[in-house]
Amino acid sequence: MTGRVQGVFFRQSAVDQARELGVAGWVRNCADGSVQAHIEGETGAVEAMLDWLRLGPAYAEVDAVQVTEAEIEASARFEIRR
């Protein structure tokens, strides 16, 4: 995700939303100011999480979300990575 996505509680809000939706994976800040996430779960829940990521939390301003397929990591929960 690009835009104003760091310093606005994006990662913790993503964790809260992911756990509510029942998806696993992770979210992390990147050095270039963007946020990266890996999401695993049922198709509908993953799509709902992507919809949320396109909006972000209240103080975020998401300009773009780039979606690519990735290898399954079989994550047990959704967490913040550093």
| Residue 70 neighbours by CB under 8 Å, 6+ apart | 38
Measured distance CA(82)–CA(78) in Å, rounded:
13
29 is catalytic: yes
CB distance 43 to 22 below 8 Å: no
Catalytic residue among 4, 11, 28, 77: 11
Catalytic residue among 19, 28, 29, 81: 29
Measured distance CA(14)–CA(24) in Å, rounded:
11
Q: Which residues are tagged catalytic?
A: 11, 29
